[in-house]
Structure 1
């Protein structure tokens, strides 16, 4: 990177996980790196909340499932350290609890063989079917990591490798078969099908629109296992920030990037966009930032990595003539779900809830119709009845005062800022957020057998789609990133480099390879591949 003509100074937009990881890896390459974050703290959607009037409580306000441990391990080794040195991980057992509508709760145990035994008890023959399913998931996961995740899709090696060519027929079937139909081929019991298909929500999608290739997600939770980093995902953010700062990265918060500066150049053909090659007509020369005092400043750089929402980057930070993904490109894209988040402090213990608890409607297609299609819901609110609850106080005594529980509740809703704001960062909620919060607390109370839950809530804070839109510049207020449908997966998801602006790269959940903290770490590594001109698939050498 110190060769003549190579970039020496980089600016990263956004101090979420992808931004911090991109900055750390760029610094490892020898660049001088500055990160600009508009919010007062780092972490982005992987945020953390404390409330002055409720001392002792601390909530994660975003990711809470620690999956794909190999992605974290690889990133930390690249940075000259280890996961063990940076995080204190606890394996959860049970991995999670489900409350199927109309049935008794089920604990999904830690360990592949234990889960196979559980499936067999519920449905004779399902244990063997799950073994086959998980073998297939492990193979799909390996292929994805080796060929389709750690790649920029700027070359064909990932597709021409013999390991892929011998599986083309199988991969074609997995890409064109919906996940719910694929799971139904293996088990009949509705509860077991839901265990195999709920990970589609982690992919910002619904089981009927998610390619069966993503059954690889069952490998991550049922085989690799579910862990919890003590301190929550705030500890993960702190660890990534820590290694970035040790590498010399300068992180500037409370400073908003208002534009990407460019200069006219001629260059070689850029990355393929929708099957075409286009020539960069400009080059990134830095950014314009607004300081906390309102002063606008130009910051020069040899390359820019935007880890902001891709829609915002393209349509707010670039002029119209330099947009690889202009507004019209987004017209028929699926933004994924929005969410209403509840951060609850509850008096007394809640043994009815595990560290991770999922409430499933029996006919959850209705819930998905509400969230993704805007269909009317059963109770008239634009919100799913299938919800996720995290109780980190089950594992971590530092997230709630003694004698209390900490609950984080995620309610999928349509990606629509009109649903409103929560009151986590404002004086009061707006729109329908409070109504959805009240209905959700009632639902948890009824479904889990905690009749006095509402009376025991001592503190409540909420976030809504409008908060995601304003705080994170999230397209349509989505919570996770564009859905992983077939048309929005792999190279069809877009490119991690601008086709029209040389030296402008993208990382984060809204670009390749997709949503989730591990994917954000991988997207940061893919930026390094772009900078190096490395078209090979697979992780970088450690």
Structure 2
């Protein structure tokens, strides 16, 4: 479904990264845009946390890896500005530190040459093979950006292309081989395999379920490098919010959308292929949204188009009546929601040189870690949680996130996507005992593996989040923290569409729709809404600026 008449007004549901970016691009296009956000602040999952009894500490509560810098650069140039003008960036070197169980830590240097030298020092010949792997990753990344990410999949342009045609054999292999098996063709050492396959977690998946095409992620961290936006992702959200408001968008917080309003038009000439390829006429047209305001009143906002950047499952099953749901509840029963997480925000007294800005702890045999998250209970585990965890220490780079003489830690523990695991302590007065036990175990593991034996005694403030927080605060399906997993059946056009099958004028953006999870993908999803409204079927990014 592609709009033929440019909209004059738009309502956007959700002021996360996707919502703010969509607002910015549509406002720049000349549309009168209103964003409605149920929370009291913007950012959504890319949130921030401060604690009154611990002044000087500030934690990002969501994304923390700044990858795909070209996606951010392109977005800001579309808006007539630049990343440099809006956000201060620092390149991290080392990019990250890895503790693999039973081995000394490895610092992964910034840049391909340093990474190749590291690989060679561990496994003779692996440096050259890494070069081949990264050449393939860079080629896959380029094809993805030029043909498969900035597209609404409403035309065949992304596929009917000489460049793609020459690579059909390679693309077939990359789509039918797992990332785990593909990396094993290049390196044998378990630590090197983990470095090449851990990006599957960024894709809300596990390496043996992720298509090898996504080895392109290694291009983003080992070739392009890892950066840090000064002020954290909070500063990045503020920048996107700023350019949106500068373009004329109006952002209303503390306004919860109750439903998407529609009117019937049974004689609609708009048609959309259903999941079986059959053309079906749309049944209704979106007319706006009904909201519960912060003052407790119910109001209706009218608009030519509605863009929902809320969780797709929530949009379809809570904001639309049954007969207008493109993705009914039974469809969701076949989908993989990706992982949940327990997040632990710590303020720690004294320095922690054992941890880099980004630190990864990997179990020696990590299949059981993924089983614990994706496959149900693991027999030898008391807790339903991964032992492969991620730690961010932004105080290594940013002095404004912790008081002098202290460190700021953000710990991410993958767990099953299940709200029944409970709430953490950040926003609930009585955190779930299971969430707190998972946090306790992670703190003990960090202390043991990194040699900070007195870590628990040095913690001066601690807050946690659990899957129930993601479910309650962000309406996340199954309490998932990232979005649906990027398995083969949930990638590209198989992930869904960014427009309703049944409601003309209703569009989707964000991590739960195409092209996928992560902040760069949210920016791209915003651009794809604009392309849909323009009737633009091309697969490439839009010319800059708008």
TM tier, shorter chain?
A: over 0.9
Instruction: Indicate conservation of the 8 Å contact 2:435/2:466, yes or no.
Output: yes
**Does 1:66 pair with 2:66?**
yes
Q: TM-score, normalised by structure 2?
A: 0.98
Q: Aligned to 1:270, what secondary structure does the other structure show?
A: strand
SS in 2 for 1:278: strand
| Cα distance in 1 for residues equivalent to 2:62 and 2:463 | 14
Structure 1 segment 100-111 matched on structure 2, within 5 A:
100-111=100-111
1:375 corresponds to 2:372: no
**Alpha-carbon distance in 2 for matches of 1:26, 1:311:** 24
Over 6 Å off, 4+ runs: none
Give the Cα–Cα distance (whole angstroms) in 1 for the partners of residues 77 and 276 of structure 2.
35
CA RMSD of aligned residues (A): 1.1
Question: Is the partner of 1:132 in helix, strand or coil?
Answer: helix
Structure-1-length-normalised TM-score? 0.99
Q: Is the 8 A contact 1:9 1:301 kept in 2?
A: yes
Compared CA separation, residues 431 and 313, structure 1 to 2 (3 A) = farther
The aligned counterpart of 1:222 is: 222
SS in 2 for 1:292: coil
Partner of 1:400: 402
- 2:95 is matched with which residue? 95
- The Cα shift of 1:427 comes to 1.5
- Residue 377 to residue 67, structure 1, CA distance change in 2 (3 Å): farther
Residue number in structure 2 paired with 1:56: 56
Structure 1 residue 389 corresponds to structure 2 residue 372: no
Out of 311, 315, 323, the position equivalent to 1:321 is 323
Question: Following the alignment from structure 2 to structure 1, what is the Cα–Cα distance between the partners of residues 473 and 242?
Answer: 23
Alignment of 1:66-85 (within 5 A): 66-85=66-85
In the other structure, the counterpart of 1:169 is: 169
**Which 10-residue stretch deviates more, 367-376 or 92-101?**
367-376
Paired with 1:385 and 1:176, the residues of 2 have a C-alpha distance of 28
User: C-alpha distance in 2, partners of 1:429/1:350?
Assistant: 27
Aligned pair in 2 of structure 1 residues 28, 271: CA closer, same or farther (>3 Å)?
A: farther
Pair 1:8 & 2:8 matched? yes
1:373-421 CA-partner distances (Å, limit 9, x unpaired): 1132643100000000000000000000000000000000000001010
1:470 aligns with 2:472: yes
1:172-183 equivalence runs, <5 A: 172-183=172-183
* Cα contact 1:271–1:495 (8 A) shared by 2: no
| Alignment-derived partner of residue 449 in structure 1 | 451
Deviation at 1:293, TM superposition (A): 2.2
Match of 1:481 in 2: 483
CA contact (8 A) 1:14 1:308 kept: yes
The 3-state SS of whatever aligns with 1:358 is strand
Deviations 1:468-517 (Å, cap 9, x if unpaired)?
00000000000000000000000000000001000000000000000000
Count of aligned pairs: 540
**Structure 2 partner of 1:461:** 463
| Counterpart residue number, 1:291 | 293
CA positional deviation for 1:239:
0.3
| Counterpart-to-counterpart distance in 2, 1:274 and 1:128 | 46
- Superposed displacement of residue 431, structure 1: 4.4
Match of 1:186 in 2: 186
Q: Is the 8 A contact 2:422 2:467 kept in 1?
A: yes
**Which of 496, 499, 502 is the equivalent residue of 2:501?**
499
1:203-257 CA-partner distances (Å, limit 9, x unpaired): 0000000000000000000000000000000001000000000001100000100
**Which residue in 1 is equivalent to 2:255?**
255
Tell me whether 1:210 sits opposite 2:207 in the alignment. Answer: no
Provide the residue aligned with 2:363 in structure 1: 361
Trace 1:267-286 onto structure 2 (pairs within 5 A).
Answer: 267-286=269-288
Instruction: Assess if the C-alpha contact under 8 Å between 1:345 and 1:404 holds in 2.
Output: yes
Partner of 2:239: 239
Q: Are the equivalent residues in 2 in contact too, given 1:16–1:43 (CA < 8 A)?
A: yes
Name the residue aligned to 1:536: 538
In the TM superposition, what whole-angstrom CA distance separates every residue of 1:20-39 from its partner, at most 9, and x where no partner exists? 00000010111100000001
Unaligned 5+ segments in structure 1 are none
Q: C-alpha displacement at 1:292, in angstroms? A: 1.3
Output the CA distance in 1 between the equivalents of 2:86 and 2:129. Answer: 38
Return 5+ residue gaps in structure 2 as ranges.
Answer: none
- Is the CA contact (8 Å cut-off) linking 1:361 and 1:385 kept in structure 2? yes
Contact 2:270 2:504 in 1 (8 A): no
Query: Retained in 2: the 8 A contact 1:17–1:237?
Result: yes
Work out the CA distance in 1 between the residues paired with 2:414 and 2:276: 31
* SS of corresponding position for 1:172: helix
Aligned-partner Cα distance in 2 for 1:189–1:503 = 52
Q: Separation in 2 of the partners of 1:23 and 1:417?
A: 30
